[in-house]
Structure 1
Amino acid sequence: MKRTITASVFICCMMICTSVLSAQNDNWTRSFPGHRVIGNLYSVGTYDLSVFLITSDEGHILINTGLDDSTEQIRDNIESLGFVLEDVSIMLTQQAHWDHVAAMAEIQQLTGAEVWATRDDARVLEDGGFSDAHFGGRQSFEPLEVDRIIDQDDVVELGGIRLSVHDHPGHTEGSSSYFMLVQENGREYKVLIANMGSVNAGKQLAVDPTYPGVAADFAHTFTHQKSLEVDVWVAAHASQYGLHSKWQPGQAYSPDTFVDPEGYLAAVERHESLFLEALAVERIE
């Protein structure tokens, strides 16, 4: 079913997004060159908000879209790499928070791409963020239609692309990561597009009436993420996986640039420690 938004509601939505954005890091809107991560995986987002393009001869997959005004930056980065935005056939998200999905409706309209999402994040996408357990109670981005529900161990296939879905809830109820294998230079690389278990400021963990079971979900995510064998990893924020210490504009491509299994495990354990500390403090209070 197509959704329409009245002018007054749309203007209200944009005002909310703008007011929230003004208090956020400028790096969310700062431009950054598109670049190849490994194989057919490319980064096409802003300085800190990650957007990933996975290419094939039969169409492309776009993961995340950033803020509502990110479309042209994404288009420019995709074209700089020799691809076309309109060839995107499937869109995915790692988490249905407004800062990662606000341009998704516009790009869906431009490309005709299908949106695939986990059941819990699909609900948030379809009501424009109103049911978001942390930022909800208002519409924070343009609602969109979700075409397919995905779940743990599902495989997203397009052309030669095979992405395994991993449910990693906590940051949002439907947060997910995606795993793929890449063959380069006679080697197989295990690649994870990870949604890290970060805890938003002010998030209730012990008892959250808007997200029952949030602490158990975080615990599940950390356990599962630590069990994964990973060579190359990226995340929803460039700062989470150390993009700017690993790659600089103009740097020559190497499949080993983002090889960092130790850094991956350390990042998961760091987020787990922060979660446990926040949970302990909340229980004391």
Structure 2
Amino acid sequence: MDTQHGTQILPHLYRVAWWDLAGKDVVNCDVFAVDCGESVVLIDSGRGGPSYPLMKANLARWGLWDRVELCLLTHLHWDHAGGVSQLRADGVSIWGGRGAAAFSQHERAREYFGGEVPALDRVLEDGEAFACSGVRFEMLDTPGHTSTCVSYFAGIDSVRCAFTGDLVMPNGTIGYSGSFDFDAQKLLGSLRRVAQREFDAVLTGHMLRTTQPSGFWMQDGKSHVLRTLQAGLEGKWNIAGQGRQ
């Protein structure tokens, strides 16, 4: 079900933020909310700033905000992690991979974020599994788009979901390939690794620029990973990208 407040993808899975949530010139990522029952888990924080209160309002409209306890970051790009400080101020714990934890030591990290680099409350190891109110998640290191990228796998309403951040873009295309820590060979390796997993749906970091759903969300997600891998093997990198994604 789609509304101006987001998309209910499954009975317990929602999209609560998207590309132009705060206007066409305010680039944001897609933020997904998993209703685990006693608690709600967010996949990425979004860019924060003017998008943050709108995302909170969307969560509240779906009856989710008061139970948000955890945010799982897919990577440290500003459109995915810019809202970390606002979420933490609201009592939400921030988790991510070891690459994200090490990112603050990079000489260009503070320059990229224009100051403070988003910090983690817990560092997850590659392949680590954990449960939130009975919903099992597993994290896989999937670097390439950035050195900080990870993907999360979870079974939600009997659908095997893969949350891949910017590893995969709509219709199996390559995401921004111009970050200072982009690595083409690592990206190809990550795509191969994800393609070896069993999952039904792929939930990417940028589905569409509106509230309307994308048909491939829940349909044969692996085919889109394989298409992205083929695009990479053919050298179809996206070095123009969108701003500083």
TM-score (norm 2): 0.76
Residue type at the aligned position of 2:152: Y
Larger proportion of strand: 2
Q: How does 1:135-214 map to 2 (within 5 A)?
A: 137-140=111-114, 142-183=116-157, 188-195=158-165, 196-197=167-168, 198-202=174-178, 211=181, 214=183
Partner of 1:74: 55
Q: Would the aligned equivalents of 2:145 and 2:177 in 1 still touch at CA under 8 Å? A: no
SS of 1:44's equivalent in the other structure is strand
SS of 1:271's equivalent in the other structure is helix
CA distance in 1, matches of 2:37, 2:56: 18
Residue type at the aligned position of 2:96: A
CA distance in 1, matches of 2:114, 2:63: 33
CA distance in 1, matches of 2:93, 2:186: 28
Deviation of the 1:266 alpha carbon: 3.4
How many residues align? The count is 221
Partner of 2:18: 46
CA RMSD of aligned residues (A): 3.1
Segments of structure 1 that go 5 or more residues without pairing to the other structure are 1-30, 204-209, 248-256
- Name the CA shift for 1:75/1:199 in 2 (closer, same or farther; >3 Å): closer
Residue type at the aligned position of 2:145: H
Partner of 1:269: 226
Q: How does 1:1-285 map to 2 (within 5 A)?
A: 32-47=4-19, 49-69=29-49, 70-84=51-65, 86-110=66-90, 112-124=91-103, 126=104, 131-132=108-109, 137-140=111-114, 142-183=116-157, 188-195=158-165, 196-197=167-168, 198-202=174-178, 211=181, 214-239=183-208, 244=212, 246=214, 258-261=217-220, 264-278=221-235
For residues 18-44 of structure 1, the C-alpha deviation after alignment (integer angstroms, 9 at most, x for no partner) is: xxxxxxxxxxxxx95222222422111
CA distance in 2, matches of 1:62, 1:138: 24
SS of 1:57's equivalent in the other structure is coil
SS of 1:68's equivalent in the other structure is coil
Residue type at the aligned position of 1:193: F
Segments of structure 2 that go 5 or more residues without pairing to the other structure are 21-28, 169-173, 240-245
SS of 1:200's equivalent in the other structure is coil
CA distance in 1, matches of 2:200, 2:53: 31
Percent identity reads 21
Larger Rg: 1
Larger proportion of helix: 1
